[in-house]
Structure 1
Amino acid sequence: MPSDRRSVLITGAGNGIGRATAALMAERGWVVGVNDLKEEFAAETVRRIREAGGEAFPVVQNVSSREGIEAAIAAVVDETGRLDGLVNNAAWVRYQAIPEIAPETVERMLNVGFTGIIWAIQAAAAAMDDTCGGTIVNVASAAGFRSAPRSLVYSGIKAGVMGMTRAAAVELGPRNIRVNAVAPSAIPTEGTEKHRSAERDAKRIAATPLQRLGTVDDIARAIGYLLGEESDFITGQVLSADGGIGIAIN
């Protein structure tokens, strides 16, 4: 029998924004499918959620492939009897100057961050109930609006994510499936640590109207808002969670 608790699959939830979002949605009473390619990362997120009194289970799949994301969504449906939400958060990122861009880099970034999301939306829409509908949140980036050197592939992918968010919202709206995106600015996480420095952080803080860097919890709350009932009449939108840096003239 289907559970009476809403369920959500969060990809790339083994750390960073994905882990923070998984913790938040479990705290709000959702059953969380914690996806990560690395079993130990998914297990750690699940452990933390369960210790806090939430309900979660690991979903170890490579969601860059159609087969992988279909298996991940099937695991949530098998576990809970339903799928109410999907957060497409998984990413694999490399920054390269235009002369240095390698085919293998482009292929892997596209598989994880673009085509993987296409297959995820397709599979989630097939699994969501026609009456109750569901919510899909894609994690885009401020880089989809404005960019920097060495970001051609990354910025292109994130701009594409915004485009597919709008297209999916139009097509799936009649089934009461909402599709939105969150566009964070640079957020300190385990994955972005190697790209950060005190000097770079200081420049970003100075350019940000709110005068601080964002946190994974800031982004998790934005995602949680778009997943929840408070945003029931919002679809096809990109929510900038960037402290105002995208609107500031520097």
Structure 2
Amino acid sequence: MQQDLAGRYALVTGAGAGIGKATALTLAARGAIVGVNDLRDELVTGTVEAVVATGGHAFPVVKNVSTRQGVTEAVNTVCEKGGRFDILINNAAWVRYQPVQDIAPETMDRMLDIGFKAVIWGIQAATAVMDRARGGAIVNVASTAALRSAVNSIVYSGIKSGILGITRAAAAELGARHIRVNAVCPSAVPTEGTIRNRNEERDARRVATTPLGRLGTVDDIAKAIAYLASDDAGFVTAQWMAVDGGLTFTNI
């Protein structure tokens, strides 16, 4: 694989499993030195070991990114490790699907803290340490739920729609500093975290209505993120990319 990210320091939040872990592996395979963030030591250790096993470079960043302090500490850990900060992947999320009548304040607050506020705090912390001449890249993980919504997803869809707004606004503000801000919108991807919301019947229905005839994988999403983080996307900012096999914008 190409080494176009060699020497760049990246932080991937929520990288202990799923899309985050795959992204850490993909960025490292392209030469980046990756700060692996998650809340649990064993998850972070597992991803770091997986990166090292494939010949890449990674180090643990065990911080709680549901708070501004935690996000800032995570970013600063990466910066202190390498003396620079180049790439931020805002991937962490905590999700519950509930009918409107069942939404509790504590559920909404946790989803907002991790999935929405942490994106803004991450952008704030990253831009404070990114080199003013060199700039950097920020990729926010949204969802096709920002584009088309299902029942019981009012909070989740609202958060992911908000991430697209954050992405555009941050790109407008930070472009003069050579900082690009983009988003990916994955469709339903089988991961450890999504298993509670999936079943064979639902997966079969998704496959049947997806032009490419399969579910996406974490590697599909990770490769899209790596592209947006790389110089190949050097003139791409304020954009979102649906990585969904054509599901969202077709009707088959």
TM-score by length of 2: 0.97
Instruction: Name the CA distance, whole Å, in 1 between partners of 2:14 and 2:59.
Output: 14
Equivalent of residue 25 in structure 1, options 14, 24, 27: 27
Please name the residue that 2:103 is paired with: 101
What is the CA–CA distance in structure 2 between the aligned matches of 1:153 and 1:207, rounded to whole Å? 25
Give every structure 1 segment of 4 or more consecutive aligned residues whose post-TM-superposition deviation is greater than 6 Å.
none
For 1:144, give the aligned amino acid: A
> Distance in 1 between the 2:127 and 2:80 partners?
16
Pairwise CA distance, 1:64: 1.2
Whether 1:59 and 2:65 are equivalent positions in the alignment is no
Q: How many residues align?
A: 247
Cα distance between partner residues in 2 of 1:241 and 1:204? 14
Report the residue type matching 2:241 in the other structure: L
Rounded Cα–Cα distance in structure 2 between residues aligned with 1:207 and 1:155: 20
Which deviations, in whole Å up to 9, do the C-alpha atoms of 1:43-64 show, x marking residues without a partner?
A: 0000111111111000000011
3-state SS of paired residue (2:180): strand
Letter of the 1:85 counterpart: I
Residue by residue, what CA displacement relative to the aligned partner does 1:152-189 show, whole Å, maximum 9, x if unpaired?
00000000000000000000000000000000000000
Q: Give 1:194 deviation, angstroms.
A: 1.4
Q: Give matches, 1:1-250, under 5 Å.
A: 5-249=7-251
Deviations 1:97-136 (A, max 9, x none): 0111111010000000001111000000101000000000
Instruction: Measure, in 2, the Cα distance between the counterparts of 1:163 and 1:177.
Output: 16
Q: Which letter maps to 2:244?
A: D
For residue 250 of structure 2, what is the amino acid of its counterpart?
Answer: A
Q: C-alpha separation between the residues in 1 aligned to 2:192 and 2:184?
A: 19
Query: Aligned to 2:149, what secondary structure does the other structure show?
Result: coil
Identity %: 58
Tell me which residue corresponds to 2:3.
none
Distance 1:148 1:77 in 2: 39
TM-score in terms of structure 1 length:
0.98
Distance 1:119 1:146 in 2: 26
Structure 2 residue runs of 5 or longer lacking an equivalent are: 1-5
Return the offset for 1:249. 2.1
